[in-house]
Amino acid sequence: MNKLHWKIGTVLGLLILAFWLLYPSVEWYTKTADERAKTEAMRLRPKRILNLGLDLRGGTHLLLELDVEKLEKKEKLNDAMTRAIEIIRNRVDQYGVGETPISRQGERWISVDLPGISNTEEAENLIGKTALLEFRLVDTSNEAQAVLSKVDGLTEPPFDKKGVLVPEIAKMMPKNTILRKAAPGPEGDKARYYVLFNEVPVTGAYLESARVETDQQFGTPSIGFTFNKEGGKLFENFTGANVNKFLAIVLDDVVHSAPVIKSRIGGGSGVIEGSFTMEEARNLAIILRAGALPAPVNIIEKRVVGPGLGEDSIKKGLTAAGIGFIFVIAFMLVYYRAGGFVADIALALNFVFLAAAMSYFGATLTLPGIAGIILSLAMAIDANVLILERMREELALSKPVAMIIPTSYDKAWSAILDSNVTTWIAAIFLFQFGSGPVKGFAVTLTIGLLVGMFTSVFVTRAIYEFWLTSNPKELSI
For residue 467, the Cα-to-chain-centroid distance in whole angstroms is 47
**Is the Cβ–Cβ distance between 256 and 274 less than 8 Å?**
yes
**Per-residue pLDDT tens for 57-74?**
777 888 889 888 878 777
At 236, phi and psi to the nearest 5?
-65, -45
Query: Which string of b and e fits 358-368 if b means at least 16 CB within 10 Å?
Result: bbbeebbbbbb
Domain ranges across the chain: 2-31+306-468, 59-130+300-305, 133-286
For residue 163, the Cα-to-chain-centroid distance in whole angstroms is 34
Residue 246 DSSP label: B
Per DSSP, helices labelled H in 73-131 are 77-95, 120-128
pLDDT band at 291 (very low <50, low <70, confident <90, very high): low
Average pLDDT over residues 387-410: 91
CA-CA distance, 409 to 387, in Å (whole number)?
6
CA-CA distance, 403 to 414, in Å (whole number)?
19
Q: Go through the chain and tell me how many residues it has.
A: 477
Q: What's the alpha-carbon Rg for the chain, to the nearest Å? A: 31
**Is the Cβ–Cβ distance between 225 and 207 less than 8 Å?**
yes
Could you tell me the CA-to-CA distances from 53 to 192, 216, 246, 446, 459 in Å, in that order? Answer: 44, 41, 49, 18, 31
Which CATH number is associated with domain 133-286? 3.30.1360.200
Average pLDDT over residues 85-90: 78
- The three-class DSSP label of residue 277 is coil
| pLDDT for the residue numbered 114 | 79
pLDDT band at 343 (very low <50, low <70, confident <90, very high): very high
- 2-31+306-468, CATH topology level: Multidrug efflux transporter AcrB transmembrane fold (1.20.1640)
CA-CA distance, 262 to 221, in Å (whole number)?
23
pLDDT band at 3 (very low <50, low <70, confident <90, very high): confident
**Per-residue pLDDT tens for 109-123?**
888 887 777 666 766
**Per-residue pLDDT tens for 357-379?**
988 887 778 778 888 888 888 88
Average pLDDT over residues 151-169: 85
What are the residues whose beta carbons fall under 8 Å from the beta carbon of 113, sequence distance 6 or more? 53, 54, 59, 60, 61, 100, 101, 102, 436
Residue 458 has pLDDT above 90, yes or no: yes
**Per-residue pLDDT tens for 207-266?**
777 788 887 777 778 888 888 888 888 888 988 899 889 988 887 788 887 888 888 887
pLDDT band at 100 (very low <50, low <70, confident <90, very high): low
Question: Is domain 59-130+300-305 in CATH 3.40.50.300, yes or no?
Answer: no
What are the residues whose beta carbons fall under 8 Å from the beta carbon of 297, sequence distance 6 or more? 64, 65, 66, 67, 84, 110, 127, 128
